[in-house]
A and B are shown apart, each in its own frame.
Chain A
Amino acid sequence: MMNMTRIAVLIGVALLPLGCAIAPSNEEITAQSTAMLKASFKATGQAGLDRLDQDETQRMCSELAGKAPSKETAEKIEKTNLATIRYPADGKLLGDWKNGEKIAQEGRGKQFSDDVAGPVGANCYACHQLTPQEVSFGTIGPSLYQFAKLRGYGADTQRYAYGKIFNAEAFAACTTMPRFGHNGILTEQQMKDVTALLMDPQSPVNK
């Protein structure tokens, strides 16, 4: 009996390298991937290993492997994230568009190589067209040139713009855009300034 069991185990082990073992499930691969990631990074500067701990939104979007979320998943993610948005207590959503432009240009912030004392930017131009003067813009996000000129300068559009900067996942589940307010990338004043870059009639974005 013992011998038969041992032989069976030995045969099983011998077959493993030949690919006869059942391939790991998707869940097993996810678990292995997560464990391997944790063992493959080191905390440096301001970037600790806790950055590899996903929240529910990150986990669900990762699991989609690049595909669009289902209607149910999208609604769940958007509802959860919408609840996190905090509008300024003073009710003013528009800061200084000139500062907003500087924040939109600034690519530094939150990298392990960055000074923890700052600066921290939004790097909007990495992905979006904004002012017509800046020709070096990326295309991962849509063009925001004439953002308010096309959508109107009203209070609802201001709230939408500020909210989108604060937590983009509230409006488009699994978007490529960071959650600048929710994840503490930008300060409230910085978000007001970037909102002004989009919404101020004097901003070159709306010229």
Chain B
Amino acid sequence: MSDFSRRGSWLVLLLSVLAIPAALAQGSAVDEIAKYRAALQDGNPAELWAARGEDLWKQKRGPRQVSLEQCDLGLGAGVVKAAYTRLPRYFADADKVMDLETRLVWCMVAQQGYTDADAKKAPFGNGNARKSDIEALVAYITSESRGIPMNVSIAHPKEAAMYRIGEKMFYFRGGPHDFGCVTCHGEDGKRIRLQDLPNLTKIEGAQKAYTTWPAYRVSQGELRTFQWRLYDCFRQQRFPELIFGSDASIALTMFLAHNANGAAFDAPAIKR
């Protein structure tokens, strides 16, 4: 993947970024944050996750000691190129609409022989204490879609239903705070504190947001998948805990991924 000089350059950038809070007093805080974000774009530690993910994809693993190269992500067994731009989609073998993460779990269970619980045991990483194979695999597979336009179909009735259910969920308000996705993502040009919020009710907003996940989150030192993005949004919405790979997560992903159609995929990205 990246050579040492590139790895070195993002380390230097990360260090220089630490000096930025002192600069916040000068000029507009928003301008300074825009500069900080621009500085982050030059090197992305997500490459480390992608490299580990590529190894995991090719290694013989699990009780059956087979690699994931027989896993069909929708474009044929072992085809990784462009696969993410077509997901979620209906898979006849599972008779289910699946996103990338749920498809990976399905392949780990059906082909490598893992139990469902084992395949899902670490959906999100937590530093060195818990590394997530799923996040690494997602980093690798999505990196093979960079530059390719999103092209998610809703031609199958089950895909069409998932899209409509996802749209309905987007507007579902509940919990002690009456929050729904639409509370924060329903208008142009809004912020939480200084964090810009995409308007996900518009095509341009969905395109910009969806094509930049997964992302390396500097504040967490982790690569985060779209499953994580939904999980943590619902946490802040004061909802109960979203189950990894649940149908609701797939429905919302379908709604946003299909709305992003036409935009070039541009991830793994790097975010604050």
Contacts and interface: CB of A to CB of B under 8 A. Distances in A.
Interface of A: 16-17, 19, 21, 23-24, 29-30, 32-34, 36-37, 39-44, 47-49, 51-54, 57-58, 61-66, 110-113, 125-127, 135-140, 169, 176, 178-179, 183-185
B235 A111 contact: yes
Contact of B172 (A17, A33, A126): A33
B190 to A, nearest CB: 5
A183 B168 CA distance: 24
27 contacts: A24-B161, A33-B169, A36-B165, A36-B169, A36-B247, A36-B251, A37-B248, A39-B248, A40-B242, A40-B246, A41-B241, A41-B242, A48-B240, A52-B239, A61-B178, A62-B174, A65-B167, A110-B177, A111-B236, A112-B240, A126-B193, A136-B29, A136-B194, A138-B192, A140-B191, A140-B192, A176-B186
Contacts of A32: 161, 165
Contacts of A40: 242-243, 246-249
B192 A66 contact: no
B156 interface: yes
A66 B182 contact: yes
B179 interface: yes
Interface string B158-169: 001100110111
A140 B165 contact: no
A179 B168 contact: no
B192 A127 contact: yes
Given A113-B235, A140-B184, A51 B174 contact: yes
Interface string B212-246: 00000000000000000000001110111111001
B115 interface: no
Contacts of A23: 160
Nearest to A183: B176
Contacts of B180: 62
A47 B168 contact: no
Contact of A42 (B29, B178, B192, B241): B241
B192 A49 contact: no
B176 A41 contact: no
A66 B171 contact: yes
Interface of B: 24, 29, 155-157, 160-161, 164-165, 167-169, 171-180, 182-184, 186-187, 189-195, 197, 201, 234-236, 238-243, 246-249, 251
Contacts of B157: 16-17, 19, 21
The 8 nearest A-B residue pairs measured at CB: A40-B248, A40-B246, A44-B241, A33-B168, A41-B240, A178-B177, A51-B175, A47-B240
Contact of A62 (B161, B171, B194): B171
A23 to B, nearest CB: 7
B176 A51 contact: yes
Contacts of B175: 47, 51-52, 110
B165 A52 contact: no
A138 B197 CA distance: 10
A112 B236 CA distance: 9
A184 B176 CA distance: 8
B6 to A, nearest CB: 33
A178 B241 contact: no
Nearest to A51: B175
A101 to B, nearest CB: 15
Contacts of B164: 24, 29
A127 B191 CA distance: 7
Given A30-B168, A39-B247, 10 more contacts: A21-B157, A37-B248, A41-B240, A44-B241, A51-B239, A66-B201, A126-B192, A127-B192, A140-B187, A179-B178
A26 to B, nearest CB: 9
Contacts of B234: 41
A44 B234 CA distance: 12
Contacts of A29: 161, 164-165, 168
Contacts of A135: 24, 29
B183 A176 contact: yes
B81 to A, nearest CB: 28
Given A54-B174, A58-B173, A185-B176, A111 B238 contact: yes
A64 B182 CA distance: 11
Contacts of A169: 178
Contacts of A37: 169, 172, 248
Contacts of B201: 66
Contact of B178 (A52, A57, A65, A112): A57
